[in-house]
Structure 1
């Protein structure tokens, strides 16, 4: 958008990794050296961790380019697989053929033979796994077994695990101690320093032949401080700043625009640092060495407290801003004249910021506004998926989408004790005393408080407050074993039975039976576990029992005991009722939800689960296929359609259409091209909409506009995300068409147009 203005060949701060912009700081070079040295030795595993956006994938790409030519590399970028799927991916990356219905043993044998052949030919085999924090413990154990093949001096397969800090916690589990001991090289990648941030920004600008001094040294320091030195955030801020400079025809970005870019990009990702700095400076500014002056402030504060206690309406002018200050004991106390004390107190009162008095009526209004914003269960489901690391569109935020990422949706009835045992975040259906229903996410359960997420607010309440509004109904996501959420019962046979025996044996500290038949021994283990966990001792591993096993194994996923900082930050941006404490909303990193299931659907007769079902009569697991459902209208309940997310006009049209087609057959529609419909529809410019409608349109920032004669090649980047025709780009906003100089979207009953690369 701004290439011609700045005279550059391409945008310099794209977040897509590119060899042209490869910048290796001292930390990146050190990480690269560690990984290369571990691969040149005889070790089996290397570990590279770092926070989101610190450049782990950059190091990974640099590592691949520096490997010897006699190296065959297999790269797995998204390892949310079962053991069988991971082995299949490794075979695919190494070019190993295997039968369509191959077992774990067949694939393992094929991989072993390939490794031996590579060793004979003088070729080193290397497996690189990115985002390894998503690996299941049993998959990690299978990786360890693959590295067992070795010669007298070296391992035939070397593995590099790359992931977020959660990977280190995962490897600390007792059951993975054997794998942890085989890691010969570990490196945790830290963010860039302030000096490296300046070098990084200038390096990117030089790479695109930029002749302008876009960012000054002082502005580079502002960006470094705001982003914490994380390269991905630096790219986002600099790109936004250059957009703002282009809009204002400024080749050198001033401080004001840099700060604006930081605010627009980082407000939803990082807690504000200015308030922290102001607080630190304020503490230094107001600490007086004179004990007598401090005592005077204390007396003034105490007098204000007595006035409130006695119910006196007459309050000191600045009493709300007066606080007791710490006495510096290391300095001697000398007599101070009363005039000096009074002057010191007056200076403190004048300099401290005034705090607004608590208004219970305004607090109640703020709370009801928050409740009304939380009235949509779909928005709550969006937040729940985001806690699992997936960003969904509103149309995808439902239970049916969980199978795409190997999760399962469970709706149940219970209490806090049961949810604490399951230890997964959940959506709670709450009702205010006035009868207003709304949805909140149970985020954390502390010793004497409960933390909830409502809309974009995190609050802390007492368990008694929650009990008065919650009837026990909840919805949660969990990860079923081997992708099958069905119960495991006595007499069944198959890999899920073996999985259950392995987990229960590890949790109870008893010997594994190494049998895939659900017999009396496994039944006794299951009943013993259920009794110890306070579950119904029925000897059936149903969803609740499997979820508790999942929690006991400490597998990756959002828990009800999120890691807390030394002092949780509070959110004082708005007043809430006294029984509700506002807290800073957590930072949730998410990736787009995949369009199709990550589980590759197989023929029912070829899957191990189906073979087990054939022996025991159990139904095979239902895997979501990427093929469209061709069953017509079968299974659709038109009377159960949810009209709450539709505009009144759209809901009315849909109800009329359903009523007019009571025989079940929809009227035939003349085939009209999408482009012709868009041209024939009545569109209205966004500026010409009624003011009330304009106020309801959410924020829209079109950052990229790509138009092509091929409809499939048209796309835009809006609010930081790529979107195509037909996508939902914001709550209630559907992208209708992308035209050469504008976009058209549907909002409520309007077809609205906006100029390309504009912002609302």
Structure 2
């Protein structure tokens, strides 16, 4: 919309990880040189970490593009896999055929044979795992075992782990020390400095076709202040600023424009009245103790009287033996302790912002929450009822009704008897039974399609989205066929079969609901409400 007005060939601030727009700050140059050297030297593991939105994926793509042509690259973008699923996915990426129900040993043998033959043919094999902080310890150990195959000079499989800072902490665990010792290169990306932000904005404008300045220095400094130097947030802010400036026909974007769009991009904390420092720990300790005491009393009563809660995803709402429930007095005691934590949680936008925070985004919900989520490749799905919430197994924005008052928050996780929730800035655990009894209205969850998904897929559709759907259904039903980029009758038949088995409308059209259900069925979602064994 604004490209022609500002002399741009394309939108310069897309959040897609396009290597063409890679901005090489001093630390980015160091990272590429360091990691590239270690890959060329044949090391086993390379580790790249950084906060959400710091440009890890973009840098990794640029790094991979510089590798020799004789390199076979396998990419795993959703690493919430078991050991068997990891090896099967690696085989899929390398086009290695295997039986319908392979064992770990069979897959390991197939991979070992492939790696040896690839090396003899003068080719390298590289595995890249994004969001690696989600890898389970046993899967990391399986990766280490895969890299045991080596010559006198190099590993036959090199692994690049890309993840958030918690991955570093995970690798410090004692039982993973053997893997940690095999990491030959580590680099942690930090946010951009104030000077970097100005250069970064100018760089992206230049790549898009504009040589002259557009954002003045005050605007750049304010963007740095609000974004904390995170490139992804900078991109979102600059894109919205360009759109607003275009509407006002501005040719110089200043601090005022950034301030105007900031409320729809950044969740800016309101300044609270100062509280005496000695009172804060006492207040927090008191609330924690009170809620903990009430929760313990509730759970104790439930266990003594035989109250049972079913948490299986396939059994829907908890089954409560109504003659054996916590007493009215215990319920009142719990609610008296919870009400101070719920007070003020009356805005849906705040709850939605908290839900986006679960996905590591810094952007607030704004006036169009689902559109804000779309900026990060996330999609909204709304449903109603406890059974459906469990079926989709995602953290979700919820509404509860307590004594006629409505509060909006997020359910973060579940275990057998309790739910971890967030209302306002408070995170705490409550009895799951109490939550079910007070749940009101619809819920909204966020999910992330594996590929860009803009419309329903149906007969004769074509493209990467269709190929991804075909591969997933082949894997789900253990069909030993190559993934097809054309939506044919065979794929339509698999879609209908899946829809029928999962109580969906059986029309053979893969819309958002079908794709979400498939992701859940394959346990490939990035965030789970409760872990399914």
- Tell me the TM-score normalised to structure 2 length: 0.61
User: CA contact under 8 A between 2:45 and 2:185: conserved in structure 1?
Assistant: yes
Counterpart pick for 2:434 among 461, 473, 479: 473
Q: Residue by residue, what CA displacement relative to the aligned partner does 1:637-665 show, whole Å, maximum 9, x if unpaired?
A: xxxxxxxxxxxxxxxxxxxxxxxxxxxxx
Q: Structure 2 vs 1, CA of residues 396 and 240 (structure 1 numbering), >3 Å: closer, same or farther?
A: farther
State how far apart, in whole Å, the 2-side matches of 1:382 and 1:627 are: 36
Deviation at 1:630, TM superposition (A): 6.2
Equivalent positions of 1:703-718 (< 5 A) are none
Equivalent positions of 1:255-334 (< 5 A) are 255-267=255-267, 271=269
Counterpart pick for 1:601 among 462, 468, 476: 476
Deviation at 1:167, TM superposition (A): 1.2
State how far apart, in whole Å, the 2-side matches of 1:246 and 1:138 are: 52
Three-state SS of the structure 2 residue aligned to 1:186 is: strand
Q: Residue by residue, what CA displacement relative to the aligned partner does 1:588-616 show, whole Å, maximum 9, x if unpaired?
A: x9752669897942369xxxxxxxxxxxx
Three-state SS of the structure 1 residue aligned to 2:169 is: helix
Aligned twin of 1:393? 381
State how far apart, in whole Å, the 1-side matches of 2:50 and 2:168 are: 10
Three-state SS of the structure 1 residue aligned to 2:5 is: helix
Aligned twin of 1:237? 237
State how far apart, in whole Å, the 1-side matches of 2:118 and 2:432 are: 62
Q: Structure 2 vs 1, CA of residues 428 and 251 (structure 1 numbering), >3 Å: closer, same or farther?
A: closer
Aligned twin of 1:178? 178
Three-state SS of the structure 1 residue aligned to 2:17 is: coil
Aligned twin of 1:458? 425
Q: Residue by residue, what CA displacement relative to the aligned partner does 1:551-590 show, whole Å, maximum 9, x if unpaired?
A: xxxxxxxxxxxxxxxxxxxxxxxxxxxxxxxxxxxxxx97
Q: Residue by residue, what CA displacement relative to the aligned partner does 1:224-244 show, whole Å, maximum 9, x if unpaired?
A: 122111111111111111001
Q: Structure 2 vs 1, CA of residues 590 and 139 (structure 1 numbering), >3 Å: closer, same or farther?
A: farther
Three-state SS of the structure 1 residue aligned to 2:253 is: coil
CA RMSD of aligned residues (A): 4.6
Equivalent positions of 1:324-363 (< 5 A) are none
Q: Structure 2 vs 1, CA of residues 217 and 373 (structure 1 numbering), >3 Å: closer, same or farther?
A: closer
Deviation at 1:103, TM superposition (A): 2.1
Three-state SS of the structure 2 residue aligned to 1:59 is: helix
Equivalent positions of 1:82-481 (< 5 A) are 82-210=82-210, 212-267=212-267, 271=269, 370=344, 387=358, 392-395=380-383, 400=388, 432=402, 434=403, 441=410, 453-454=422-423, 457-459=424-426, 472-474=433-435
User: CA contact under 8 A between 1:6 and 1:212: conserved in structure 2?
Assistant: no
Three-state SS of the structure 2 residue aligned to 1:203 is: helix
User: CA contact under 8 A between 2:383 and 2:389: conserved in structure 1?
Assistant: no
Q: Structure 2 vs 1, CA of residues 247 and 221 (structure 1 numbering), >3 Å: closer, same or farther?
A: same
User: CA contact under 8 A between 1:118 and 1:124: conserved in structure 2?
Assistant: yes
Equivalent positions of 1:467-616 (< 5 A) are 472-474=433-435, 592=448, 600-602=475-477
Q: Quick check: 157-166 or 99-108, which moved more?
A: 99-108
Deviation at 1:366, TM superposition (A): 11
- Tell me the TM-score normalised to structure 1 length: 0.44
Q: Structure 2 vs 1, CA of residues 5 and 57 (structure 1 numbering), >3 Å: closer, same or farther?
A: same
State how far apart, in whole Å, the 1-side matches of 2:342 and 2:503 are: 42
Equivalent positions of 1:705-744 (< 5 A) are none
List runs of 5+ in structure 2 lacking aligned partners: 275-338, 361-377, 414-418, 437-444, 454-468, 480-493, 516-533
Deviation at 1:177, TM superposition (A): 2.0
Aligned twin of 1:59? 59
Deviation at 1:629, TM superposition (A): 5.4
User: CA contact under 8 A between 1:3 and 1:11: conserved in structure 2?
Assistant: yes
Aligned twin of 1:415? none
User: CA contact under 8 A between 1:47 and 1:187: conserved in structure 2?
Assistant: yes
Moved over 4 A (4+): 365-374, 379-386, 388-391, 396-404, 425-431, 435-444, 593-599, 625-636, 723-727
State how far apart, in whole Å, the 2-side matches of 1:24 and 1:174 are: 36
Deviation at 1:179, TM superposition (A): 1.3
Three-state SS of the structure 2 residue aligned to 1:10 is: coil
Deviation at 1:56, TM superposition (A): 0.3
Q: Structure 2 vs 1, CA of residues 87 and 261 (structure 1 numbering), >3 Å: closer, same or farther?
A: same
Q: Residue by residue, what CA displacement relative to the aligned partner does 1:42-75 show, whole Å, maximum 9, x if unpaired?
A: 4211111000110101111111111123322222
User: CA contact under 8 A between 2:118 and 2:124: conserved in structure 1?
Assistant: yes
User: CA contact under 8 A between 1:382 and 1:397: conserved in structure 2?
Assistant: no
User: CA contact under 8 A between 1:371 and 1:438: conserved in structure 2?
Assistant: yes
Aligned twin of 1:2? 2
User: CA contact under 8 A between 1:451 and 1:459: conserved in structure 2?
Assistant: no
State how far apart, in whole Å, the 2-side matches of 1:49 and 1:635 are: 40
Deviation at 1:95, TM superposition (A): 2.2
Aligned twin of 2:81? 81
Three-state SS of the structure 2 residue aligned to 1:210 is: coil
Q: Residue by residue, what CA displacement relative to the aligned partner does 1:244-283 show, whole Å, maximum 9, x if unpaired?
A: 110001121132112222332112xx646xx59x99xxxx
State how far apart, in whole Å, the 2-side matches of 1:207 and 1:471 are: 52
State how far apart, in whole Å, the 1-side matches of 2:219 and 2:504 are: 59
Equivalent positions of 1:9-24 (< 5 A) are 9-24=9-24
Name the structure, 1 or 2, with higher relative contact order (CA <8 Å, separation 6+).
2
Three-state SS of the structure 2 residue aligned to 1:36 is: helix
Deviation at 1:172, TM superposition (A): 2.4
State how far apart, in whole Å, the 2-side matches of 1:590 and 1:635 are: 19
Q: Residue by residue, what CA displacement relative to the aligned partner does 1:112-162 show, whole Å, maximum 9, x if unpaired?
A: 011101111222211111111121222111111100111222211111100
- Alignment coverage as a number of residue pairs: 387
User: CA contact under 8 A between 2:504 and 2:514: conserved in structure 1?
Assistant: no
